[in-house]
């Protein structure tokens, strides 16, 4: 059913695009800046020791999507985008910014050659604690170890809930991985406690399997983190922009004020030491923010902060609540242009309105999203 819905939605987008829908939406949003986000990219088959459950962008497909966008959008740096949004500089129609979150090495090894070829300046938001420790993120650590369990029916308790792991079925394992991640994120109001629980669970599973991602993370094409030297070289010889993403990839709205300030200041100091440049832009890990966090980010000396909230950014918007559009993993050229123009969001809003109308007219309707 889900695959049918996806095919149907893609077909609608192609038809609407053919009829001029993307052109119209792009014209209506021409004075707004779209910020694209993704995490990492990695070719199929290069991870010789494992295949991540979390989807990854394929470099060739990523390049195709960017080429389709370049036909309609003018990419710029985050610095220039902020000057335009603040009203201090005049922009061009349909401007865009490309951002990466977390600080994976593959942003540079696989992403940067493509971006240099297309003359697209990226901003990479880095969690500096992982650069220093060179340890994988907890979600990658769990992704790997879940696949290493040889026995079916392995039981594990996470945040008070019991889960049964069957590593023999990859599709089911992928669903379980997503459920576990959401369970961890939703059950803890304190993100430090959430991280502690996630790493506790990973350690138990590593003991069961006898295998750890941390043993080869530094050479792994997917999970490897940038080093301080690589950040310095990219910033100073290749013109890559870097921004803050906390020290420990902490959801800032779920920790106390002292932790917020320390995560912000230490992260900024680390990056400025490595790049030898002012670090002025920030990304909230997992999009987690509130007014107190926004004020703390501003006090720390950042000029902007991006969220995970979808949408466009217009002149005079709140620079500490910047919206972004996530780049899908397998979008066609028509789909990518529909997303970038706002046509895709308009179609989603119309679909929700129709569903709401059906529920009101037919209260017993079982229409699903």
Distant-in-sequence, close-in-space partners of 366: CB < 8 Å, separation ≥ 6: none
Q: Measured between alpha carbons, how far is 109 from 93 in angstroms, rounded to an integer? A: 31
Global pTM value: 0.92
- CB-CB contact of 12 with 74 (8 Å): no
For 323, the token pair is: 């919206």
**Bigger pLDDT: 271 or 168?**
271
Q: Measured between alpha carbons, how far is 42 from 34 in angstroms, rounded to an integer? A: 24
3-state secondary structure at position 167? coil
Dihedral through CA 262, CA 264, CA 266, CA 269, nearest 10?
-150
Where do the domains of the chain lie? 2-134+220-351, 138-218
**Bigger pLDDT: 285 or 348?**
285
Whether 368 has a pLDDT exceeding 50, the answer reads no
By percentage, how much of the chain surpasses pLDDT 90?
Answer: 75
Q: The domain at 2-134+220-351 falls in which architecture?
A: Alpha-Beta Barrel (3.20)
Q: What is the pLDDT of residue 46?
A: 86
Whether 268 has a pLDDT exceeding 80, the answer reads yes
For 350, the token pair is: 């119309």
- List, in sequence order, every residue forming a beta bridge with 201; answer none if it has no partner: none
For 123, the token pair is: 């901003």
C-alpha distance across the termini of the chain, in Å: 12
Q: Measured between alpha carbons, how far is 108 from 56 in angstroms, rounded to an integer? A: 15
| Residue 66's pLDDT band (cuts 50, 70, 90) | very high
| Residue 11's pLDDT band (cuts 50, 70, 90) | confident
3-state secondary structure at position 238? coil
Q: What is the pLDDT of residue 228?
A: 98
- CB-CB contact of 61 with 330 (8 Å): yes
Q: What is the pLDDT of residue 359?
A: 76
- CB-CB contact of 256 with 141 (8 Å): no
| Residue 345's pLDDT band (cuts 50, 70, 90) | confident
């Amino acid at each position: 059913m889900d695959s049918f819905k996806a095919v149907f939605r893609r077909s609608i987008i192609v038809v609407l695009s053919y009829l001029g829908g993307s052109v119209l939406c792009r014209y209506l949003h021409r004075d707004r800046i779209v910020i694209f986000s993704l995490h990492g990219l990695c070719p199929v088959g290069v991870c010789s020791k494992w295949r991540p459950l979390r989807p990854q962008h394929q470099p060739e497909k990523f390049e195709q999507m960017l080429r389709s966008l370049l036909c309609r959008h003018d990419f710029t740096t985050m610095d220039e985008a902020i000057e335009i949004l603040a009203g201090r500089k005049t922009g061009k129609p349909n401007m865009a910014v490309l951002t990466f979150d977390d600080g994976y090495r593959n942003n540079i090894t696989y992403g940067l050659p493509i971006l240099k070829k297309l003359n697209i300046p990226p901003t990479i938001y880095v969690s500096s604690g992982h650069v220093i420790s060179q340890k994988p993120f907890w979600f990658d650590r769990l992704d790997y170890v879940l696949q290493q369990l040889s026995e079916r029916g392995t039981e594990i308790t996470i945040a008070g809930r019991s889960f049964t792991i069957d590593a023999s079925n990859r599709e089911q394992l992928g669903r379980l991985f997503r459920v576990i991640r959401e369970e961890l994120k939703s059950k803890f109001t304190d993100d430090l406690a959430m991280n502690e629980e996630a790493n506790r669970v990973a350690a138990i599973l590593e003991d069961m399997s006898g295998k750890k991602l941390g043993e080869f993370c530094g050479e792994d094409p997917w999970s490897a983190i940038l080093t301080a030297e690589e950040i310095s070289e990219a910033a100073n010889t290749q013109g890559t922009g870097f921004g803050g993403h906390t020290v420990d990839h902490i959801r800032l709205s779920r920790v106390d004020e002292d932790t917020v300030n320390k995560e912000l200041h230490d992260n900024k100091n680390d990056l400025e030491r490595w790049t030898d440049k002012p670090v002025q832009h920030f990304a909230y890990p997992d999009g987690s923010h509130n007014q107190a966090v926004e004020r703390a980010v501003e006090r720390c000396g950042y000029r902007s902060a991006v969220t995970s909230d979808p949408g466009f950014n217009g002149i005079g918007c709140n620079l500490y609540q910047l919206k972004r559009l996530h780049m899908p993993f397998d979008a066609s050229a028509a789909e990518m242009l529909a997303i970038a123009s706002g046509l895709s969001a308009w179609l989603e809003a119309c679909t929700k309105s129709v569903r709401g109308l059906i529920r009101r007219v037919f209260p017993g309707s079982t229409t699903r999203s």
